[in-house]
Structure 1
Amino acid sequence: MSGKVYVGVDLGGTAIKVGLCDESGKLLQTYEGPTGAELGSDEVMERIAQYIRLLVEESPFKWEDVAGIGAGLAGFLDIPEGIVRFSPNLKWHDVPVKKILEQKLDKPVTIDNDANVAALGEAWSGAGAGISNVVCYTLGTGVGGGIIIGGKIYQGFAGMAGELGHMSVVPDLEAIQCGCGQMGCLETVSSATGIVRMARDAVQRGDKTSLAMIQNITAKDVFDAAKVGDEVALRIVNRAAYYIGRSMAAIAVVLNPQRFIVGGGVSKAGEILFQPIREIFRKYTPLQVQENVDIVPATLGNDAGIVGAAGLNLR
């Protein structure tokens, strides 16, 4: 089989996922192996190279068909130089990922933030396929984001664009400190961590809720309780949705994207989350700005990072 293919690398703290995509963004084949982060960056780089070679060897393609390699990583990156300045998960400082992988594989390598590449994946062949301007939210342990303008990732001058979880949206009297050090960030109320915190606070206050019967509350527990009419759980879900909708309204008047895409584990809650988000967005966004703008769930799931990373050398 011939034709150009692109390799995407999703580098996590425990697993490295690699995949082959064609020029349309279709994921053709994947391979996954342990990261081995505790063994140091040299070992991790060697494993990435090994996994990529195994991926291609097990595919119908030849090594010369590989046109480029992209990698999505969590942390603070020097994207033009391809250097991981600091990665808390991997405990890396100043690792020249681009240079090392290009030496090992003799292919062009591009890196970017993991949330950015997930957004690019959705924009390329997921929920944003065919749309040039989208904003993606990833609602998980934290709140990540990515901005796609004209089909390309918008990084800002220092690569920090798209940090949607750190928009300050909660009023001072209700705000708590975020892990970033600032007060009132979206992440404190609309992430899985924030939702669980609000649920635990309600139980500790003695609010009447079925959540009091659960020893280790999860975000899914909160959504499940809300779906069967638990008023406390519903209040928490609506609060999380409210601030997502308000943040989208603020973004809309600046960037005017055609679509907001919401992914991550929290987004699996479905319409009980999406309906209030849409209502708040419409309430706080001028009619002319919200016209023909939609808010939809992501479709690529855990593959978004691989697909988006593969597209870094194409888009």
Structure 2
Amino acid sequence: MSESLYVGVDLGGTAIKVGLCNAEGDLLRTHEGPTQAVNGSDAVLTNIATYVKELVAPGTPEWDAVEGIGIGIAGFLNIPEGIIDFSANLPFRNVPVKKIMEEKIGKPVKINNDANVAALGEAWAGAGKNIANCVCYTLGTGVGGGIILNNRLIEGFSGMAGELGHISIVPDLEAIQCGCGKMGCLETVSSATGIIRMATDAVERGDKTSLVFIEGEITAKDVFDAAKSGDEVAQRIVSRAAFYLGKSMAAVAVIINPQRFIIGGGVSKAGDFLFAQIREVFDKLTPDNARDRVEIVAAELGNNAGVVGAAGLFLRA
């Protein structure tokens, strides 16, 4: 087999997903198995090696065509050295993942932040395909991000480039402490966690809102559904989340000057109801030359963005 192939690994706290891609970013097939994080870091890395070899059998022409294995990981990483410094949901503390996995698999390995690889996947084969300059936001439990400039993933000197959720953007008098320890991060208001917190606070204050009738824990979807139905409290919460997203994009636009912003993650499922508000703020706060013809669109690859992007680390990072 003459065509080069690449394997991507999306390492999550519960499951590990692996995928095989060609040089065009086409996802040929996937395989998945449990992470088993409770068994420790070596067990997790052994599982990755096992799932990769179940995806592509060693000794076959396909295996010989595999140029490398990319791994996307949530946590703080030393990307140049291939080390996981810390991961909140995985048993990794200063683990040299690149070195260990190359010994276990016998192929070159690269690691990167999970939000970066999701961004790379969208840029390579999703909503950013054929767009040389784009910025991706992932709105989920937190706010992740990734920056693609001139078709390359930007990592920065320590791998912290693209941590959009930790832009300090909320004014001091409104700011709360983020999980990173700093105050006023975008993540505190525009993530699912931030939206739920604001909704829970409103209910506990006794604000007049239909959210008081939600049984069990309030979800971000509950807030968006209430806002779409005309609930003024829910609308204010969504507007606040959208305002700071749009404001952050305005700041990014005059630094990076992307052609397209791509928004993925669970919160993005709110669709045009959220996107229209983000766009309104972005247009208001961004200079014309950084705003004109800039698009704000939804991600396309869904749960496959991570494996596609991780596979792309050997071509696009």
**TM-score of the two chains, using structure 2 as the length reference:** 0.96
State the distance in 1 between where 2:210 and 2:88 align: 36
SS at match of 2:297: strand
| 2:168 aligned with 1:168 | yes
State the distance in 2 between where 1:71 and 1:180 align: 23
State the distance in 2 between where 1:155 and 1:4 align: 25
Give CA deviations for 1:102-152 in whole Å, capped at 9, x if unaligned: 112211111111110000000000000001111110000011111111111
Alignment check: 8 A CA contact 1:142 1:187 kept: yes
State the distance in 2 between where 1:163 and 1:142 align: 11
State the distance in 2 between where 1:52 and 1:2 align: 20
Which residue number corresponds to residue 126 of structure 1? Answer: 126
Correspondence list, 1:1-315, <5 A: 3-57=3-57, 62-215=62-215, 216-315=217-316
SS at match of 2:80: coil
Structure 2 portions without partners, runs of 5+:
none
- One-letter amino acid of the counterpart of residue 270, structure 1: G
Deviation at 1:91, TM superposition (A): 2.5
SS at match of 2:173: helix
Alignment check: 8 A CA contact 1:124 1:308 kept: yes
Deviation at 1:66, TM superposition (A): 0.9
Structure 1 portions without partners, runs of 5+:
none
- One-letter amino acid of the counterpart of residue 280, structure 1: V
Alignment check: 8 A CA contact 2:146 2:163 kept: yes
State the distance in 1 between where 2:273 and 2:61 align: 44
SS at match of 1:182: coil
Deviation at 1:61, TM superposition (A): 5.9
Deviation at 1:2, TM superposition (A): 5.3
State the distance in 1 between where 2:67 and 2:134 align: 26
SS at match of 1:138: strand
State the distance in 2 between where 1:87 and 1:195 align: 24
SS at match of 1:128: coil
- One-letter amino acid of the counterpart of residue 287, structure 1: D
Alignment check: 8 A CA contact 1:70 1:310 kept: yes
**TM-score of the two chains, using structure 1 as the length reference:** 0.97
State the distance in 1 between where 2:293 and 2:76 align: 35
State the distance in 2 between where 1:217 and 1:76 align: 29
Deviation at 1:296, TM superposition (A): 0.4
Give CA deviations for 1:53-98 in whole Å, capped at 9, x if unaligned: 100139x962111111100011111111111122221131121111
The count of corresponding residues between Structure 1 and Structure 2 is: 314
**RMSD over equivalenced CA pairs, Å:** 1.3
- One-letter amino acid of the counterpart of residue 207, structure 1: D
State the distance in 2 between where 1:100 and 1:166 align: 30
SS at match of 1:245: helix
In 2 relative to 1, CA 61–193 (structure 1 residues): closer, same or farther, beyond 3 Å? farther
State the distance in 2 between where 1:61 and 1:162 align: 37
Alignment check: 8 A CA contact 1:2 1:62 kept: no
Deviation at 1:9, TM superposition (A): 0.3
SS at match of 1:81: coil
In 2 relative to 1, CA 106–224 (structure 1 residues): closer, same or farther, beyond 3 Å? same
- One-letter amino acid of the counterpart of residue 310, structure 1: A
List 4+ stretches of structure 1 deviating above 2 A. none
Alignment check: 8 A CA contact 1:141 1:192 kept: yes
State the distance in 1 between where 2:315 and 2:175 align: 41
Alignment check: 8 A CA contact 2:80 2:158 kept: no
